[in-house]
Amino acid sequence: MAPIASREAKTHFPALLKRVQEGEHITITKHGVPVAVLSPVEAKKGKSREDAIEAMRAFGRGRTLPEGMTFKDMIDEGRRY
């Protein structure tokens, strides 16, 4: 796609965003010099929420509190800092 002048980009910004949402990369120029590129945000490729919850559960399996410490003691300890 041909570069777009900054003034034209300002005037037609909503239309440019729509084109970017559709996957287009748009170069914006100022006095003919490229100064910015509008491009779509890449989708995050990570764990799903369910995978993250299961990972936390797996981490906690088989772990116990230190001798003589209650869960409330741990919460209170964490609040001090």
Q: pLDDT tens, 29-81?
A: 999 999 999 999 886 677 788 888 999 899 988 888 888 888 898 888 888 77
Q: Which tokens go with 67?
A: 């001798």
- Can you give the length of the chain in residues? 81
Is-contact 29 35, C-beta < 8 A? yes
Q: pLDDT-derived band of residue 17, with 50, 70 and 90 as boundaries?
A: very high
pLDDT higher than 80, residue 1: no
Q: Which amino acid is at 7?
A: R
What angle (nearest 5°) sits at the alpha carbon of residue 74, between those of residues 68 and 76? 120
Specify the pTM: 0.52
Beta strands in the chain (DSSP E): 4-5, 26-30, 33-38
